[in-house]
A and B are shown apart, each in its own frame.
Chain A
Amino acid sequence: MDPIRKQELKRQAGRRLAEQRQRAGHLRGRVLAISLACFALLWGIVFVQMATGNDPALSGKKVAKTQATASTRREVETTDPREVETEQGAANELAREEEAAAEAEVEGTEVGPASPEVEEVETVEAEPEVEAVETEPLVTSQS
């Protein structure tokens, strides 16, 4: 082969090799940047969730929340006069029930205080539910 032609081919090969290395370097950099961003994002989500007090290990499923909200309120037994519901309390409960029913509709679940289907769903649940009903706060006072 012509030495000049050979040298030219060598130059071209070297150029291609350099371009290939450059592309590989860029690709590595991009992968590293995306990995770091994903890592930071995931830990950021975990941090925010924990910092706001919403530890997933301590919270319930949304389905459980809907069911508990819809049907537990009526079943609370009380002898505390403070627990006796006022008209305002009844109105609030109604609003909560409507909200729960709306949520359940979105999720394709039927919710009704006397619905036999709901009762059936409840009885076949294997996992214990996590309490989702927000009850009246406790008060610490001078003992």
Chain B
Amino acid sequence: MRREAVESFECFGGRCAVRVGDRDGEAAAAAVGDARQALLEAHRTLSRFDPESELSRLNRDPRPEAPASPLLRRLVAAARAAGQRSGGLVDATLVGEIEAAGYADSREFDPRGADRESPPPHPAAPSRRAAWCLLAVDDRARTVSRPPGVRIDPGGIAKGLLADVLAESLDGFDSFAVDCCGDLRVGGRGGRSRTILVEDPAGGEPLHELRIADGAVATSGITRRAWTGPDGRPAHQILDPGSGLPAFTGVGQATAVAPTGLLAETFAKAALLAGPDGAESYLPYGGVIVETDGAVRVVDPLGSVLPEVLTA
């Protein structure tokens, strides 16, 4: 008899949930419990705010090459892959910059922070330093290498990656869904499609409805984790790698569909950073673009655009 076991819990500074449906309800419930433990453990490993996490120790390590667990090695490889797939727009090495912007520790957010007198919009650019290019993983030696001083901020990459990691372990069940703070990965042997709603950043009704049987959806935006910066200007966690400052590109939120969570997260952030004119090119599997003036564009899976189907 099919059942769906569900657990929802706090992790990665937000709410995560795991759902598993299977004829064997006990196995599904056990898998959900294991997935929860795995996510919490991954959070302890990859937290930038915990000085004792393995990631923090790696970021402090003065050696150019340091031993790393399989999960950390996978994160480093994912950070490099995200940089490559986004042409450098998704840069996981901007730790100094995000700290300077006011996000050095786990903090409270003001969702309206990014609305106040934001600078004129312009597309983001890759960093000239491109430190993500220098990240390397040696699985045989079980090490990662990067120039000393280059630190890694897992950010959304970790959420997309962990959704994929859990998906690998849940793939044998009839259906599953992993929600890592809004980064979703769904699948299962049954090929059951699920309804996925795209949240309105303004808090209104969902902007769009997707039906996905096997794949991932991720959303990146500048409103939820926003605050007032040290200089009194609006700030948020999505940085323009070119300037090292919070990016104001004219896109307030981008949702991307992709085969994997990592790819969806990469595409969503790259679309946001590319600005209204370039966002569509980062959504090859479709998505939803919300511009800061409230205009909404739905990019369908075939790559065509339905312009301004909704306006806030």
Contact A82 B8 (CB under 8 A): yes
Chain B CB within 10 A, most for which of A71, A129, A139:
A139
Contact B184 A140 (CB under 8 A): yes
Q: In the complex, what residue of chain A is closest to B193 when comparing beta carbons?
A: A58
Known A-B contacts: A76-B4, A143-B220. Give 20 more (CB < 8 A): A57-B191, A77-B5, A77-B29, A78-B8, A79-B7, A80-B8, A83-B6, A130-B190, A135-B4, A135-B194, A138-B177, A139-B206, A140-B198, A140-B217, A140-B255, A141-B181, A142-B182, A142-B199, A142-B223, A142-B224
Contact A140 B219 (CB under 8 A): yes
With A128-B174, A131-B21, A131-B190 known as contacts, the answer to whether A141 contacts B219 (CB < 8 A) is yes
Q: Which secondary structure dominates chain B's binding surface?
A: strand
Chain B neighbourhood of A57, CB < 8 A: 191
**In the assembled complex, B23 has its CB within 8 A of some CB on chain A:** yes
With A79-B6, A138-B179 known as contacts, the answer to whether A143 contacts B174 (CB < 8 A) is no
Contact A138 B197 (CB under 8 A): yes
Chain A neighbourhood of B177, CB < 8 A: 138
Residue of A122, A129, A137, A143 touching B182 (CB-CB under 8 A): A143
**Which residues of A, 69-117, contact B by the 8 Å Cβ criterion?**
71-72, 75-83
**How far is A79 from B5 in the complex, measured between Cα atoms in Å?**
9
With A128-B190, A138-B177 known as contacts, the answer to whether A75 contacts B195 (CB < 8 A) is no
Contact A135 B25 (CB under 8 A): no
Chain B neighbourhood of A77, CB < 8 A: 3, 5-6, 25, 29
With A79-B8, A80-B17 known as contacts, the answer to whether A53 contacts B1 (CB < 8 A) is no
**How far is A134 from B193 in the complex, measured between Cα atoms in Å?**
10
With A77-B6, A131-B190, A137-B197 known as contacts, the answer to whether A142 contacts B219 (CB < 8 A) is yes
Q: In the complex, what residue of chain A is closest to B182 when comparing beta carbons?
A: A141
Chain A neighbourhood of B181, CB < 8 A: 141, 143
**How far is A82 from B206 in the complex, measured between Cα atoms in Å?**
17
**Which residues of B, 143-195, contact A by the 8 Å Cβ criterion?**
156, 159-160, 174-175, 177, 179-184, 186, 189-195
Chain B CB within 10 A, most for which of A79, A129, A130, A140:
A140
Q: Which residues of A contact B (CB under 8 A)?
A: 53, 57-58, 67-68, 71-72, 75-83, 122, 128-131, 133-135, 137-143
**How far is A83 from B195 in the complex, measured between Cα atoms in Å?**
16
**In the assembled complex, B54 has its CB within 8 A of some CB on chain A:** no
**How far is A137 from B211 in the complex, measured between Cα atoms in Å?**
10
Chain B neighbourhood of A133, CB < 8 A: 2, 4
Residue of A58, A80, A135, A143 touching B219 (CB-CB under 8 A): A143
Chain B neighbourhood of A128, CB < 8 A: 23, 174, 189-190
Determine how close the nearest CB of chain A comes to the CB of B221; give it in whole angstroms.
4
**How far is A130 from B9 in the complex, measured between Cα atoms in Å?**
28
